[in-house]
Structure 1
Amino acid sequence: MRQHHLTTAGLAVLSAAATVALLAGCSAGASGDAGGKKADDHRTAIDVADIAKDDAAAKLLPESVQKAGKLVVGVDPTYAPNEFKDKAGQPIGWEIDLIDAVAAKLGVKTDYRTAKFDNIVPSILGEKYDLGLGGYYDTKKRQETLDMVDFFQAGNQFASPKDAPITDELDVCGLKVAAQNGGSAPLVYLPELDKKCTAAGKKTITVLGYDTQDDATAAVSLGRADAMVADSPVIGYAAKLSKGKLVTSPIYDSTLSGTPIKKDRGQFADAVLQALQGLQKDGTYTDILTYWGVENGAIDTMQINGGTE
């Protein structure tokens, strides 16, 4: 999926620590309205003032959201280029731009709340957050309690040191592989890959779990892990920031991804879907993905719960 990514002129990766810092931005700030802000470091593909409200879609929002006038979004801003932080601590990235545009289409603001990836869904189910961002794959398991609004196609990908490239899935058998806790890679993909390793008579994978993608990247850069795995835009972006120190594998098991919304909130998911479809029709969707270099993951048909696995 997303092999090509935006790089910012002047970024220099001087060490593993610098790689982590670039992926995460600075650590300050936990929430805020990022819609349309264009400070020097706040890179964005859009100006929300240019986006026309879709009254029909807005009427589908839950009354509580309409009254609040905002979407409360749980976000793990350590997952560049999907979502990370600028120097002021505000979230940026292609998923941030897309949800800012969705909010504008629905006539509301965005209120981003920083959280660890594996804490976002529980907060959505508890209605502390309205939706979440963090590179969420649409899986049958998630569909049991969530409506996944699909707007992208992603896949699993590995990154490893340039002198130890991974060209086949079975190359990771017996290796120490870093992955972010709570994601589909350690919960679904790597266990399935382990079965292939066993069937091929190879050693099993040692999974090293980390709370953030930045920590997983650092583990590989510092030699604590042999490789890392995440969704393809994240891996590609990390590899580019490494200035050749890390190389990427082919992409495996491409699937739909999007934003999770609690199931029993009326037509909430339909409102978000209709807003996304409007952004696709007017070209905003393509503009955002192209700006951030992830246009290869664009999908033709946006839908709710389109995942089949």
Structure 2
Amino acid sequence: MKKRLVLLTIVIFTLGIFLSGCGQAKQSVDNSWNDIKQKGEFVVGLDDSFPPMGFKDDKGEIVGFDIDLAKEAAKRMGVKVVFKPVQWDGIILSLNNKDIDVIWNGLTITDKRKEQIAFSKVYLQNKQIIVVRNDSPISSKKDLSGKVVGLQLGSSSEAALSADTNTSKSLKEVKKYSDNTEALMDLKQGRLDAVVVDEVVGRYYLSKKPGIYKTLNDDFGKEDYGVGIRKTDSSFKEELDKALDSMKADGTADKISQKWFGKNIIAK
């Protein structure tokens, strides 16, 4: 009899734990996509001074490559999109505090960021490209030996060039500028032999100045861009990934890329 009571007690205890676990599981179900549908919109956090990804035009409206992608994705998801300028150095905190729903602004996927947030599928691969004048005889990184190269101070381009010690040590000089526009202007005037720049930025400026510059096939490394999403928002992420996949499949993402960069640089 005692054995039966002990066995019954164990069964009841185990069942209690199981039911408790089920209750917790139900409470932790991700409702992020349902929440977005109920609101009818999702909020994109961005730095609105980052052309061509997201910036204010002459009319004060926020435009850009990422802006067009986000609008198209929202359309396919059946909701609206709202753009909210946020201080870049605190944007991940804004996301996790639910001040915004996503970060969509040329956000590089890094291991450090993966510890804090989730990412959509890769939608664009950026790389550090080499820009020269259209009439330049330079055709590869090896041809940069003894040449003067310009880049933006503190940029990814500076880090990428420094990491390629064979090339960086062969240069005559590296000139550092406050912005890429100034560097490209000096290249045009013949004060530089080449400029190292983010492809997303470089191709945008090149599309505005056709026939003046060209890019080399060589580059200084690649990096992936993704949309930053809260780790808890897996159902929302799934729907956003579906929208991005469909935009790639039917060529819409290609058209948006051609508009802003003059080339398809959408990740496959």
Q: TM-score, normalised by structure 1?
A: 0.58
Q: Which has the larger radius of gyration?
A: 2
Q: Aligned partners of 2:38, 2:108: CA distance in 1, in Å?
A: 30
- Counterpart secondary structure, 1:296: coil
Change over 3 Å in CA distance of 1:81–1:265 after alignment to 2 = same
- The residue aligned with 2:236 is 268
- Counterpart secondary structure, 1:112: strand
Q: Deviations over 1:18-57 (max 9, x none)?
A: xxxxxxxxxxxxxxxxxxxxxxxxxxxxxxxxxxxxxxxx
- The residue aligned with 1:240 is 207
- Counterpart secondary structure, 1:230: strand
Change over 3 Å in CA distance of 1:219–1:104 after alignment to 2 = same
Q: CA deviation at 1:100?
A: 0.6
Q: Aligned partners of 1:75, 1:173: CA distance in 2, in Å?
A: 40
User: Does residue 192 in structure 1 map to residue 163 in structure 2?
Assistant: yes
Q: CA deviation at 1:235?
A: 0.5
Q: CA deviation at 1:236?
A: 1.9
Q: CA deviation at 1:151?
A: 1.2
Q: Is the 8 A contact 1:161 1:220 kept in 2?
A: no
Q: CA deviation at 1:238?
A: 0.8
Return 5+ residue gaps in structure 2 as ranges. 1-29
Q: Is the 8 A contact 1:232 1:251 kept in 2?
A: no
- The residue aligned with 1:18 is none
- Counterpart secondary structure, 1:137: coil
User: Does residue 284 in structure 1 map to residue 252 in structure 2?
Assistant: yes
- The residue aligned with 1:153 is 125
User: Does residue 230 in structure 1 map to residue 197 in structure 2?
Assistant: yes
One of 90, 94, 119 as aligned partner of 1:123: 94
Aligned-partner residue type, residue 259 of structure 1: V
Aligned-partner residue type, residue 244 of structure 2: L
User: Does residue 217 in structure 1 map to residue 181 in structure 2?
Assistant: yes
- The residue aligned with 1:74 is 45
Q: CA deviation at 1:160?
A: 5.3
Aligned-partner residue type, residue 157 of structure 1: I
Q: CA deviation at 1:173?
A: 8.3
- The residue aligned with 2:152 is 179
Q: Which has the higher contact order (CA 8 A, sep 6+)?
A: 1
Change over 3 Å in CA distance of 1:158–1:197 after alignment to 2 = closer
- Root-mean-square deviation (CA, aligned residues, Å) is 3.8
Change over 3 Å in CA distance of 1:101–1:202 after alignment to 2 = closer
Q: CA deviation at 1:179?
A: 2.9
Percent of residue pairs bearing the same amino acid type: 24
Q: Is the 8 A contact 1:60 1:271 kept in 2?
A: no
Change over 3 Å in CA distance of 1:84–1:169 after alignment to 2 = farther
Question: Which has more helix, going by share of residues?
Answer: 2
- The residue aligned with 1:142 is 113
Q: Aligned partners of 1:68, 1:166: CA distance in 2, in Å?
A: 54
Return 5+ residue gaps in structure 1 as ranges. 1-58, 301-309
Q: TM-score, normalised by structure 2?
A: 0.65
Q: Aligned partners of 1:124, 1:295: CA distance in 2, in Å?
A: 31
- Counterpart secondary structure, 2:123: strand
Q: Aligned partners of 1:127, 1:83: CA distance in 2, in Å?
A: 21
Aligned positions, number: 233
Aligned-partner residue type, residue 133 of structure 1: W
Q: Is the 8 A contact 1:76 1:83 kept in 2?
A: yes
Q: Aligned partners of 2:217, 2:240: CA distance in 1, in Å?
A: 32
